[in-house]
Amino acid sequence: MKKNSFLYHLHPPRVPQAVLKFTHTWGLGGSALVLVLMQILTGVLLLFAYSPTPEAAYPSIVVLQQDILFGKLIRNLHHWGANFLVVITFFHMLRVFFTGAYNSRRKVNWWIGLGLFLCVLIANFTGYLLPLDQLSYWAVTICSNMFEYIPYVGVMIQKMIIGGTEISKITLSNFFAIHVALVPLSLSILMPLHFWQIRKAKGVICPVTLPVSQGEASTTVLKKDAVPHLVTREAAMALVIIAVLFVFSILFDAPLADKANPGLSPNPTKAPWYFSGLQELLQYFHPTIAVFVIPLLIVCGLICLPYLKFDKPATGIWFLSENGLRMGIVSAVSAFVLAPLMVVLFEYAINLSSLLPGLSPVITNGALPAALIMIFLFSFYQIMQRKFDATAEEGVQAVFIFLLVCFVVLTITGVWFRGPGMALNWPWDCGLEQAGGSHLLRY
């Protein structure tokens, strides 16, 4: 490999053998890159058939699927590729978190990664509306209505996003411009910065408990040339991702409901699946808490994560240690038991507004449950730390896993277990009905 070649400079010339192990990274970063490239390719092809106007958007999708050779396959690839990209990027960030690759000199790249994940979510959300069918129209309506509950500036943000008080020609034009221009431009800036930061940090974080921690990584025994050892692994993973995406797109068609009807909403009206957990929170918390306070705390926590002071430096080991892994399993199991139980109890037995009728909903469905959750999480942290004689970092990781699994349970509940009126139902009983208005809140 010539030293002036692109591949030579994309990776460190030699990489520790430990990081070549597939289970260290699961190829998630490279898979995300492949999916982004697939999205660009299929997106460009779709532009030849799609018409971004309210009158022609839906018919153009119908023509694409029925009359254009391989049109349905191209749309399927683009649709499922976008969904895969959300999942892969999310798992990639979890890999970074669970191996501690967000501290010290890697903290800037953590922030860039957050920006990339935000771009992926925006790309999915703006692209979701473009078919302008019933499913996309009302899902975007639900999400845009959530902004109303942000104090002081919520209505202004909502009007900026949809270009008025309801979805219109301006909304479609804005979403189309963001989807095909602004997001790709942002990705074209952030992705090279992301790769450069990885290169600057001499590659992905390496597990320190392997022989590399003893200084032997500097020898040729435990290091291998990036080309071909790393590059061939990346190429193989790329081919696997492309093959899986093609098979999935052949077997499953991208959804397309009836043409959007602003006067007839489906029941239930649900947000896109990646925002279903947020919509599900509205069943238990006051809207301001659910769509503003909780997301704000999550974003601030992720941004400030590299500044947390822990007992030991990052190890590059999954879940920090064997002890951290055991704590993670206990946290996950606890959340899988408690979260569904609380969902059922709040649906059929617990109603704080009825139990405390004299108090404002901001207190009964906002401040009070939030305070109870904070007390529980602090107690859970203390119990886990004492039970397992854990470090502060292992304790924080245990709480993070507990919250993560709870949010996954809420997302699953919102996607598959909410039926008409957003009531709990078995998945096979959650068919759509037609209603005159959207269903967003329980109270």
Q: Distance of CA 340 to CAs 176, 324, 333, 374, Å? A: 38, 24, 12, 19
Do residues 441 and 282 make contact, with C-beta atoms less than 8 angstroms apart? yes
Do residues 317 and 384 make contact, with C-beta atoms less than 8 angstroms apart? no
- Tens digit of pLDDT for each residue in 218-277? 333 356 666 677 778 888 999 999 999 999 999 999 999 999 999 998 988 999 999 999
- Sequential pLDDT tens for the chain (443 residues): 455 555 555 666 677 777 778 888 889 999 999 999 999 999 999 999 999 999 999 999 999 999 999 999 999 999 999 999 999 999 999 999 999 888 878 899 999 999 999 999 999 999 999 999 999 999 999 999 998 889 889 889 888 888 888 899 999 999 999 999 999 999 999 999 999 999 888 888 888 754 444 444 333 335 666 667 777 888 899 999 999 999 999 999 999 999 999 999 898 899 999 999 999 999 999 899 999 999 999 999 999 988 887 766 667 889 988 999 999 999 999 999 999 999 999 999 888 888 888 888 888 888 899 999 999 999 999 999 999 999 888 999 999 999 999 999 999 999 999 999 899 998 887 765 544 433 343 33
- Per DSSP, helices labelled H in 252-293 are 276-281, 287-288
- The token pair at 439 is 């269903």
Quick check: helix, strand or coil at residue 433? strand
Query: pLDDT value at position 14?
Result: 74
Region at 227 (left for phi over 0; alpha for psi -120 to 50; beta for the rest): beta
Closest of 125, 140, 143 to residue 85, by C-alpha: 125
Q: Distance of CA 84 to CAs 4, 35, 131, 209, 380, Å? A: 34, 8, 19, 33, 33
Query: pLDDT value at position 441?
Result: 38
Query: pLDDT value at position 3?
Result: 54
**Torsion, Cα of 280, 285, 290, 296 (10° steps):** -130
Query: pLDDT value at position 434?
Result: 47
Query: pLDDT value at position 440?
Result: 41
Task: Round to whole Å and give the CA distance between 37 and 184.
Answer: 10
Task: Round to whole Å and give the CA distance between 50 and 44.
Answer: 10
Query: pLDDT value at position 216?
Result: 41
**Torsion, Cα of 266, 270, 272, 276 (10° steps):** -170
Backbone angles phi, psi at 266, to 5 degrees: -70, 155
User: What single-letter DSSP state applies at residue 367?
Assistant: I
DSSP 39-65: HHHHHHHHHTT---STTTHHHHHHHHH
Query: pLDDT value at position 433?
Result: 54
- The token pair at 412 is 């699953």
pTM metric for this prediction: 0.90
